[in-house]
Amino acid sequence: MAKAYLVKSKEKRVEYGHPWIFKSDIEKIDGDFIGGDVVDVYSSKNKFLGKGFINPKSQITIRMLTYEDESIDYGFLYKRISDAWEYRKKVADPLSCRVVFAESDFLPALIVDKFSDYLVVQTLALGIDRYKEQIVDILNDIIKPAGIFERNDVPVRELEGLDQKKGYLSKEFNTKVLMVENGVKFNVDLENGQKTGFFLDQKENRASIKPFVKDAKVLDCFCHTGSFALHAGYYNAKSVLGIDISEHASQFAYENASLNGLENVCRFETANTFDKLREFYDNKERFDTIVLDPPAFTKTKGAVEGAVRGYKEINLRAMKIIESGGYLITCSCSHHVDPDLFMDIIYSSAIDAKRKVRLVEYRTQAKDHPILLASPETQYLKCAILQIV
């Protein structure tokens, strides 16, 4: 097995448990290897630090698997996946949850989501992709799903030298799956929906809106297939308008509303949220509760400045059209916009909107997306519930 030796100044981060080793962190590599192999990792003083997948094509050159001297084999993967599943059975609804959350479950670049009796798998790095067949066997043995679908149609795989692909990892099945979340029914498109078909990380946040939408006129911006909007309707909102720029998402949201008997409460419009918020302000239209759940405005450090402008604009405009005493439920899934910066944006928006704002509750991703403290990258979702007075 090849041995990778780290630059002296880069060792502590690995010793403290961060799972990524970048090219610039590596002093030298002794021994032969090919991309995707497991290598031993050592400090500059020849101290054993652990083992990880190596891929010289990737800027994240080594992804740590273990900090112990143990074999990386079927048994290793079996125990890691079993531990992850046992954790989900304790903290989440096993019929709708993230089963494996990559580095947070010590299985770097592996995502497994469960929708009803079906699984969606992503293997986003070369090392874990080489074990895909074994992972599928283990999932079938532990969880016994009705079917497994691969959603590896994501550009990040190309950074690993991998092709984008999607398809069945089991016998074929209908990839439009019925799932229930917090009592609300959803049709989930496993094959063509965003990410793995549905955003499970907001599940607990969607449940938390119940007291803030009852008898309220609700606006759900960036509504996608209607997850927050339908929860608002289910929790007895007076009326709900969902806005999304995708015609496909809006149509899917209508189908989900009908599925729950909420078609008379929830309506959806295909439009640009930035334009609609301006239009509502110009027309003096007001809402009791507004949900802002935009896609990530930045995926790189270099784009943070533009993202800040985007977050500020939507929060400022939303605050201007909320009735006094109403509520703003505002979210960000951009990792590079950290919690402190996100709250600074909200405060700055409140100042410019000339509204007084009280923080009612601050939330993050659901418990099936645990945060690894050594890896800030695993904490990405922010959700603030605010009263606008």
- The catalytic residues are 333
- Can you say whether the dihedral through the CA atoms of 268, 269, 271, 272 is positive or negative? negative
Q: What CA–CA distance (Å, rounded) separates 69 from 71? A: 7
Q: Which of 216, 239, 207 is nearest to 326 (CA)?
A: 216
Extended beta strands in 233-316, E state = 239-244, 266-270, 287-292
User: Which amino acid, 351?
Assistant: I
Query: How many whole angstroms separate alpha carbon 327 and alpha carbon 379?
Result: 25
Of 183, 170, 48, 54, which Cα lies nearest the Cα of 117?
Answer: 170
Cβ neighbours of residue 325 closer than 8 Å, sequence gap 6 or more? 387, 388, 389
CA torsion through residues 169, 195, 207, 268, sign: negative
Least Cα distance to 127 among 103, 97, 148, 143 occurs for 103
Beta pairing class for 3-6 and 38-42: parallel
Helix (H) or strand (E) holding 363: strand 357-363
Q: How many CA atoms lie within 13 A of 167 on its CB side?
A: 3
Beta pairing, strands 165-168 & 118-123:
unpaired
Query: Is the separation of the CB atoms in 145 and 113 below 8 Å?
Result: no
Torsion of CA 46, 48, 49, 53, to 10 degrees: 100
Classify 135 as helix, strand or coil.
helix
Residues in the chain: 389
